[in-house]
Amino acid sequence: MGRFFSKRLSKLLPYVPGEQPQDMQYIKLNTNESPFPPSPKVIEAIGAESGKLNLYSDPECKVLNDAIADALGVDRDMVISGNGSDEILAFCYMAFCDDETGVCYPDISYGFYPVFKDVFFLDGKAIPLTDDFRVNPADYIASGRTIFIANPNAPTGISLGLDEIEKIVKGNPDNIVVIDEAYVDFGGETAIPLTYKYENLIVVRTFSKSRNLAGARIGFAIAQKELIDELNKIKFSFNPYNEDRLAIVAGAAAMKDTEYFEKCIGEIMRVRELTVSKLKEMGFDVLPSKTNFVFAKKEGFSGETIYTELKKRGILVRHFKSERIKDFVRITIGTEEQMNAFIEKLQEIIK
Ligand SMILES: *Cc1c(COP(=O)(O)O)cnc(C)c1O
């Protein structure tokens, strides 16, 4: 570390994104993007907006937030959007965590939670998943901390039911519970209806996975107005123009094009089930997925080997080195054609 770098952050371990090779020669099943392009209506909206890029974007993101509110059936003052849900999560860390309380999250979950803990100088507690990789709601009751849970969880793909989420929210009336629903559109149960009932619940969503817009960087949160106002307080103290003009119109158009959205997620879920059954036929253990990826392992093969051998054959999946999950690989569901190519290469490897 250079002598100018913040001493307070000297031990910081940054988040490591999945590989994004810029030569595009791989079948990319490693970062849970959609294999389908954005809706044609999104592309049209961006084209029309691009001539206005000399002007700042709307700091209220009104057309985007209104489209989100309308599509999800929530009040318009219950929405805030941000530069990816990563930024929204960061706002939650800034707004709702304190030195005395700190944060908690599952030990196996989204890699950003512990990174933000360090960036914002908070005490963090990683709560172990059960042996079968589930979040046990009882472990989160009266936590005394701000809680971050991805539901469905990543990289496991496993989902909690709404009753279990409610137990956690109810069991922490003096703390904020953030439910990160990055993958909920692929078969999970959303906690949005509970936001009306509980003043301590924030639901975070993204356009990166189910709305075909990872590259546009759009995320949002749904919560009661008071919490949204407080998140806005942070946003306007940090980056008031956090969504650019193109992202605002792209997101609004994507939210309105329900037909395209449903077609894409329907296809992903169909191909997911095909992929799961082929993996099982090949002797893989596959965790039950309600997401656009599957988490799988095969006895006798390390996750590292499968990752490396697939990469040699032009296919990228994600491997995590941490002890409990090092035998697994996480495979994003691509098009049926991509998954057929993946299965073919995988068969070669395990032969
Ligand atoms: C992908 C992902 C995010 C980040 O989404 P962006 O909106 O692209 O920043 C957040 N949480 C989880 C659990 C994710 O998998």
- pLDDT, residue 24, reads 63
d(CA 122, CA 112): 13
In short, whether 213's Cβ falls inside 6 Å of ligand 1 is: no
**Inter-residue contact 108 to 248 (CB < 8 Å):** no
Amino acid (one-letter) located at 88? I
Amino acid (one-letter) located at 228? I
In short, whether 87's Cβ falls inside 6 Å of ligand 1 is: no
State the DSSP code for 197: T
Residue partners of 167: CB distance under 8 A and separation at least 6 = 137, 141
- pLDDT, residue 234, reads 98
By most ligand atoms within 8 Å of CB, the mutation choice from 85, 108, 289, 330 for ligand 1 is: 85
- pLDDT, residue 16, reads 86
- pLDDT, residue 290, reads 97
Ligand 1 atom index nearest CA of 154: 13
- pLDDT, residue 19, reads 83
The rounded average pLDDT for each run of 10 residues, N- to C-terminus, in the chain (351 residues) is: 89 88 86 97 97 98 98 97 98 96 97 96 97 98 98 98 98 98 98 98 98 98 98 98 98 98 98 98 98 98 97 96 96 98 97 90
- pLDDT, residue 164, reads 98
- pLDDT, residue 89, reads 98
Q: What is the pTM of this model?
A: 0.97
In short, whether 84's Cβ falls inside 6 Å of ligand 1 is: yes
